[in-house]
A and B are shown apart, each in its own frame.
Chain A
């Protein structure tokens, strides 16, 4: 067993400057905010479905129309729920399409501009979707669908960009641990979204959307002013340049090829500041890289389960056990807590073992058992939270690993060391396939 470089404190910590810390935190929180605004929608499903339907109260007492039944967007709660599921599906499909595109686009444009544009415009769309429609009392199915499609496309700019930026700053050494920790950003975003939404839900669901959209917009502005896309932007050497000076005993843990000691091509993702010209890898070439298809398909199945939880957990808790929406939101946090611990721990273990696949396979097998166990959970908040955390550990762990560390491995294999424009493209492919799987999963029950 080879302990990762992280234990040789001097070598690792000395190469991390305050720039690395800031980049880690900025990319971490920018993706968290994107995910938080996505999560807001699933946190307010109960309230929004109540807002769209007339009251189904059936007693002899008089219910004044303007308070209880003036909204008729859907005749019943069941129809509203179906539409909410449709919105999720639409979002995921457009997100998947957007990922394929953004992965390719993100490498050719300035990542900082793409990321802040994506964050700010997605925040505006979410604001119009949730807050403006409520303030104007304008409820329209077509508007909701189109806004959510646009939101899916805009949000898809986030992930490939942040992974690419992280790939620029953090090299192969300790990638499993660093990316494992970093990939907790999605789960942290879920927790953040759940906390924000449940704290303002009493004022009305429109304020949940307003708060998350405003914070995301602010995040976009901070990214614009504070993010350094790669070390070359301020004149520091890139990661490949540094690594070629080190004793190269660490390779991406997927392929076993020897690393050739070439005169360093510059692996910066910026086109305009390289020593040697590099050419982009095409979409087809990226697909044909070893491991990409296999991991993409695995990720599709995994994301199906993960997103079913993501989109419907508070709604399920609220309807099945009768808990209040704000409480259900707070409890659904435990799933993400499990996911964070799972991702970090499994990333660390796979670094130690120098293999990713066995860790993933075992975790997914155990996930099946935990899902069955969760479906039989009793109506008790502590037990339910515990089962939720366990399920999150076994599902969220591999999910976080595939989407981050493994994507970074795939995108930096020796086979494509001559090209730099692979990381974002590969990330886009893996995540895009995953999202298609998740989208299909939303319409399966229908």
Chain B
């Protein structure tokens, strides 16, 4: 396409380059909302920052510690004047370390950590209890200005109830202090009723060739001399 007012095709190039640059920067800046909803960035001496620096391949962006693919591995929301973690909090369900101290969190946190199966370190304000209590965490330490919950436990082993899940379902962790029923190994589909996979190709191959051979055989021996009808 020809741009008006341009002397030659070569003047398109700087425009294209600038456009590409802007687009790539924008892509890199497409952070999950949870990282940017609270102004500021990860505190230098926080646990999240320590964790992020000690592992290579991790980058700090706003309040998050991300890996190369953009998955949130650390979240630092301390001192954000939060009453509750907010609607974007589930975006951080892959996080390994989360810091929520120095906020006046209200209400029960039991449901906010649904799906946070990787969480190993959770720092909460002093007056907030660890979700799931002492049963869900190996270590709970109370400091002056925070409570630290460390090493999430898999409650599937400890509960020990064999009838925990419906038929063909098996227990799996669903966050601190939570369990869910997923399909057992080898089962899939609605209510985990299905097992394995049916090979359509083999079935139709065998059926088709058998039908062809029997039809040909029978036509040859039976109907070939039949009067047209």
Contacts and interface: CB of A to CB of B under 8 A. Distances in A.
A272 B229 contact: yes
A444 interface: no
B140 interface: no
Interface string A29-73: 000000000000000000100110001010101111001101100
SS class, residues of chain B in contact with chain A: mixed
B196 to A, nearest CB: 6
B211 A221 contact: yes
A125 B222 CA distance: 30
Contacts of A270: 229
A226 B183 contact: no
B180 interface: yes
Given A222-B214, A225-B218, A67 B190 contact: yes
Given A204-B193, A215-B207, A227 B198 contact: no
SS class, residues of chain A in contact with chain B: helix
Contacts of A222: 211, 214-215, 218
Contact of B221 (A18, A51, A207, A233): A18
Interface string A88-109: 0000000000000000000000
B181 to A, nearest CB: 5
B191 to A, nearest CB: 6
A211 interface: yes
A55 B181 CA distance: 12
A226 B223 contact: yes
Contacts of B171: 61
A319 interface: no
Nearest to B219: A225
Interface in A179-234: 200, 202-204, 207, 211, 214-215, 218, 221-222, 224-228, 233-234
B53 interface: no
B229 A218 contact: no
Interface range, B side: 35 or more
B207 A214 contact: yes
A71 B190 contact: yes
Contacts of B194: 202-204
A390 to B, nearest CB: 33
Given A71-B190, A214-B204, 17 more contacts: A22-B221, A50-B193, A55-B166, A63-B166, A63-B181, A67-B169, A67-B183, A67-B190, A67-B191, A68-B181, A200-B198, A203-B194, A204-B194, A218-B211, A221-B215, A222-B211, A234-B226
12 contacts: A22-B218, A22-B221, A51-B193, A61-B164, A67-B192, A68-B191, A211-B203, A214-B203, A218-B211, A225-B216, A228-B222, A273-B227
Interface of A: 18-19, 22, 26, 47, 50-51, 55, 57, 59, 61-64, 67-68, 70-71, 110, 112, 200, 202-204, 207, 211, 214-215, 218, 221-222, 224-228, 233-235, 270, 272-273
The 4 lowest CB-CB distance pairs between A and B, nearest first, are A226-B218, A203-B198, A218-B211, A225-B215
